[in-house]
Structure 1
């Protein structure tokens, strides 16, 4: 019989042979393998340097394009919106480029009647009932709750009330008093649904709705729907331009462009997060007010043109 010592000796011989094989094999391959690895590392390092240089070049080109657009704005915009009353309505997703849009409107000579920033709370579907109740409570004698949408959608109802006091009334309608305008807006500001750093100076004839990317949380569908209802209610009363960021994924720009009705009355700009897009936003507003025409502008695949062609 094969005893235990034989097993030990056999196993020891096997492991010794494996060890010797690994040492010999490593020694034999060490040179070629290391050289190959060094070559790959050097190649990757060069590729990385080239990519960094390309990024730096593109960044420099972008900065130059932005500077060029800013210079062109000083040439094309002054006087385009002189004495035209424009409201800036900022949505939560558009906060980063709202200020840039306002600067371009100012360059064009627009009379910005006010800036109202709707808060995340206004879009949150959990506040639907509260917004319905607030619309009733906030209503005033010259801004009554009668005639507001009564379909149970709080964002739509509250948006309609805000639009009725922030924009011109239809011809022949009873004007809203300044006291009632301030009171309605204050109701939403005090409740945390909106913010307005400066007093709204009268009604506007047009509105720029500053929006951004679509929502991506669990309530994205309801929130995107609410954003559209906000824009719809303001568009019912005044000329509307949506200054957005991107045109896909269900954001406001994408939805307006895909809707054959909304796209006939609302203009959209899908790159308003850039100086070029902010310039185009103002030109789109000029077109809305002078030609009563809507257009879909920007760099997205669903844009009709990069910018509107305005009459000289």
Structure 2
């Protein structure tokens, strides 16, 4: 019969053997394994430092490119639109880049006739009938309903009325009177469709429409189409440049470029969210007004970087 002392001695021997094995194994592996792990950690640390430095360099390069574009603007733009009457229309998605574009246009010497910010309510498909009725209510003697689109699209009809109030008339027509222009704007502003950021002082001969990415909500298609209707109607009365952010997904820049007719009369800029794009927006408008040349600019597919410099 195996006694208790035998069990104690056996267990002690087992644990002693395990302890000796761990000590010997650790001693044998500690050098190579530890060195390998340390080398891996050091390598990853160096890679991380290099990547961090690369990011910092790219950020610095971008900052310098923007500084360069801002300085170039002070050389290229002054005098390019002196005395030309320009209106700025800002769509709901274009708020972020509006101030930068307005600054560039001011540098050209253009006479800014005003800035109108379109509110989300105007492109909401639920307000189609209300916009049809409002076009009739807002009309004035020098801004009549004669000739307005009659296809039942409220945004198109109201945009046509607003364009005739804010821009020079085509076919030798006379501009709207100041009082009628103010009355039309007030009607739409009071109903929450527009916000007049800068008072409109005269009829414009050119307009910059500032947009952004496409809509992504359940009414995205209808809203994107409504934005195009706004642009189409303003294009009928004046030189027009659409300054946007991106050229895909159905936004107005993409739709203008895809339309054989609109792309012949409307210039677009797809990177107006950058200083470079804001500079090109001003150049594109100057090109269209002075030479009647239309172009598609930016970084998108088949877009030129900037208009050709002409003497």
1:45 shift after superposition = 4.0
1:197 shift after superposition = 2.4
1:51 shift after superposition = 2.3
Query: Structure 2 CA distance, aligned partners of 1:34 and 1:133?
Result: 80
CA distance 1:35–1:148, change in 2 (3 Å): farther
1:237 aligns with 2:241: no
Matches within 5 A, 1:127-206: 127-206=127-206
* Higher mean displacement: 35-44 or 49-58: 35-44
Which secondary structure does the structure 2 equivalent of 1:231 belong to?
helix
1:43 shift after superposition = 4.3
Q: Do 2:168 and 2:203's aligned partners in 1 also have CA atoms closer than 8 Å? A: yes
Q: Do 1:113 and 1:204's aligned partners in 2 also have CA atoms closer than 8 Å? A: yes
Deviation per CA, 1:182-236, whole angstroms, max 9, x where unpaired? 0001111111111112320110000001011111111111111111111110001
- TM-score, scaled to structure 2: 0.87
Question: 1:63 matched to which residue of 2?
Answer: 63
Question: 1:308 matched to which residue of 2?
Answer: 307
Question: 2:219 matched to which residue of 1?
Answer: 219
Question: 2:72 matched to which residue of 1?
Answer: 72
Question: 2:15 matched to which residue of 1?
Answer: none
Question: 1:252 matched to which residue of 2?
Answer: 252
| Runs of 5+ unmatched residues, structure 1 | 1-19
Question: 2:14 matched to which residue of 1?
Answer: none
1:37 shift after superposition = 6.5
Q: Do 1:91 and 1:211's aligned partners in 2 also have CA atoms closer than 8 Å? A: yes
Q: Do 1:130 and 1:154's aligned partners in 2 also have CA atoms closer than 8 Å? A: yes
Query: Structure 2 CA distance, aligned partners of 1:36 and 1:246?
Result: 48
Which secondary structure does the structure 1 equivalent of 2:121 belong to?
helix
Deviation per CA, 1:79-107, whole angstroms, max 9, x where unpaired? 00000000000011110011111100110
Give RMSD over aligned pairs: 2.1
CA distance 1:179–1:55, change in 2 (3 Å): same
Query: Structure 2 CA distance, aligned partners of 1:34 and 1:187?
Result: 78
Query: Structure 1 CA distance, aligned partners of 2:131 and 2:33?
Result: 69
CA distance 1:33–1:140, change in 2 (3 Å): farther
1:283 shift after superposition = 0.8
Which secondary structure does the structure 2 equivalent of 1:80 belong to?
coil
Query: Structure 2 CA distance, aligned partners of 1:224 and 1:162?
Result: 19
Deviation per CA, 1:52-89, whole angstroms, max 9, x where unpaired? 22121111101101111111111111100000000000
1:36 shift after superposition = 6.7
Question: 1:228 matched to which residue of 2?
Answer: 228
Matches within 5 A, 1:79-94: 79-94=79-94
Query: Structure 1 CA distance, aligned partners of 2:36 and 2:155?
Result: 64
- TM-score, scaled to structure 1: 0.86
Query: Structure 2 CA distance, aligned partners of 1:47 and 1:88?
Result: 48
1:172 shift after superposition = 2.8
Q: Do 1:257 and 1:302's aligned partners in 2 also have CA atoms closer than 8 Å? A: no
Query: Structure 2 CA distance, aligned partners of 1:37 and 1:231?
Result: 62
